[in-house]
């Protein structure tokens, strides 16, 4: 429990705090083709003002990990397609081996060791299994299915014999019975509240559709319970939309809604299991969370 409490300092949730004004220079973070280095935001000539502006921007918009002073954040420290700053705890991030350990239907069946773990959560059909397979670069490590709601157990995968990826049941599957949906929710919530080795939740959001109320509700519940999270936007390879808005526009809309409840924005990153977008950057982000947790 002490380890988990220490990790809460990583979380930038601060649920229901009054939001700070979003700097206009933040708009570049929602572009697929431009990085922070290409921002057209005009900086003040006064050096002290630049430092103060950068610090306010970092504290409000960026995920600044432990060991980094917001005033020291530079363009090169921000991972492309994300708001994540790389700090001194970032280290080895490549996956050399992965093995399925077990599926658990009850809390007492979880692996009984102290290895850190990252839970992958999202609406059914958001691409959880595809993301896991893309991260480990192995087909069918996680079960993929054209039928949403296939995963109904909590599945542990051991990575490099040192940490876990945890595949959780998807939420919001309309074809499941009300009783089944309730059971899944209770089971998953119990995991979040009682699992001391949980480092952070990767909350997957489908960027190809407009913001969904159920995703916002899930994010707000995690925030209220001080669960560290990272928004992982999936399906970002679709640069053009046949209907509605483009993924980058949907991401921007989701960010604006999240800011209503968060003074400081949680970490977020754009990914695609089809093109590999964001894979290495996400693994590097996980490495710095994991290494800090291990201290």
- Residue 132: which of 146, 117, 147, 143 has the closest Cα? 143
- Residue 119: which of 211, 21, 220, 188 has the closest Cα? 188
User: Is position 23 within any domain?
Assistant: no
Domain with 189, as residue range(s), is 79-294
User: Is position 66 within any domain?
Assistant: no
Quick check: 255 and 54 in contact, CB under 8 A? no
The residue whose two tokens read 């990575």 is: 159
User: Is position 14 within any domain?
Assistant: no
CATH code, domain carrying 207: 3.40.50.300
- As for how many domains the chain has, the answer is 1
User: Is position 114 within any domain?
Assistant: yes
pLDDT in tens, 163-200: 999 999 888 654 555 655 555 578 888 999 999 999 99
Torsion angle (degrees, nearest 10) of CA 12, 79, 97, 191 = 20
User: Is position 56 within any domain?
Assistant: no
Distances (CA, A) of 29 to 24, 25, 59, 70, 75: 11, 8, 15, 17, 11
* Percent of the chain clearing pLDDT 90 (strictly above): 54
User: Is position 213 within any domain?
Assistant: yes
pLDDT in tens, 237-251: 876 655 678 899 999
User: Is position 151 within any domain?
Assistant: yes
pLDDT in tens, 29-84: 434 333 333 333 344 444 455 566 667 767 678 999 999 999 999 999 999 999 99
The reply to whether the predicted model has a pTM over 0.75 is yes
User: Is position 69 within any domain?
Assistant: no
């Amino acid at each position: 429990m002490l380890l988990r409490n220490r990790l809460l300092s990583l979380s930038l949730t601060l649920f229901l705090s009054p939001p700070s004004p979003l700097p206009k220079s933040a708009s570049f973070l929602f572009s697929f083709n431009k990085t922070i280095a290409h921002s057209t935001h005009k900086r003040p000539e006064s050096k002290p003002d630049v430092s103060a502006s950068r610090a306010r921007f970092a504290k409000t918009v960026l995920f600044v990990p432990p060991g980094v002073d917001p005033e020291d954040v530079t363009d090169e420290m921000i991972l492309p397609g994300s708001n994540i700053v790389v700090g001194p705890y970032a280290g080895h991030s490549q996956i050399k081996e992965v093995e399925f350990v077990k599926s658990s239907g009850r809390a007492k069946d979880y692996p009984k060791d102290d290895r850190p773990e990252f839970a992958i959560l999202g609406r059914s059909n958001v691409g959880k299994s595809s993301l896991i397979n893309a991260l480990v670069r192995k087909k069918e490590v996680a079960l993929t299915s054209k039928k949403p709601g296939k995963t109904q157990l909590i599945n542990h995968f051991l990575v490099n014999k040192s940490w876990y990826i945890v595949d959780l049941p998807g939420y919001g599957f309309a074809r499941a019975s009300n009783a089944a949906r309730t059971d899944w929710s209770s089971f998953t919530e119990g995991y979040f509240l009682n699992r001391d080795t949980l480092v952070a939740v990767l909350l997957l959001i489908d960027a190809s559709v407009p913001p969904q109320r159920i995703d916002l509700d899930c994010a707000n519940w995690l925030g209220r319970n001080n669960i560290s999270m990272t928004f992982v936007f999936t399906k970002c390879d679709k640069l053009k939309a046949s209907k509605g808005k483009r993924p980058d526009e949907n991401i921007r809309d989701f960010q604006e809604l999240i800011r209503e409840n968060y003074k400081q924005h949680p970490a977020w990153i754009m990914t695609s299991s089809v093109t590999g977008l964001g894979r290495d950057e996400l693994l590097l982000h996980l490495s710095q969370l994991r290494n800090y947790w291990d201290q």
